[in-house]
Amino acid sequence: MNMRSAATGLCQECHTVGAMNSSDDAFLRKVREIQEARDKAIRPLAAVLVERERLRTLLAETDGPYGAAYADAEAAGWRTEELAALGAEQPLRRPKVRLRRAGSNRARIPAPVNADEAAQDAEAAAGR
């Protein structure tokens, strides 16, 4: 009577000591050879993947300084087209710029003393 193991789904008779014969040994030897060849083939890919990740990290570290230098070049008058012609691609991310609070740099205009001054100021602002 063949009882199948719930864990492996294999016949329990195959799990007894000495139950393996020479054809089983040949089969398992072939499996090991195939797996060893697969392991050998994957090692170079694993090494290249590690190197690619290292290079991605190094490249990512240059994004901030590159973006800032690119923005400085534009601020100095270089156009995007000119920079592209020189081989400088637009940065993926622009450097973070601190936004000024609205109105912080505006000149403070004193409030008019009376309604006539207010009307005159409004006309002056409108360009009349």
49-103 pLDDT per residue, tens:
999 999 999 999 999 999 999 999 999 999 999 999 999 999 986 556 565 666 5
Q: Is the pLDDT of residue 118 over 80?
A: no
* Residue 3 CB partners (closer than 8 Å, separation 6+): 11, 12
* Per-residue model confidence (pLDDT) at position 112: 46
* Per-residue model confidence (pLDDT) at position 78: 97
The predicted-structure confidence for 6-61, as pLDDT tens digits, reads as follows 555 555 555 554 556 888 999 999 999 999 999 999 999 999 999 999 999 999 99
Q: What global pTM score does this model have?
A: 0.44
Paired tokens of 7: 């864990």
* Per-residue model confidence (pLDDT) at position 90: 94
Cα–chain-centroid distance for residue 32? 39
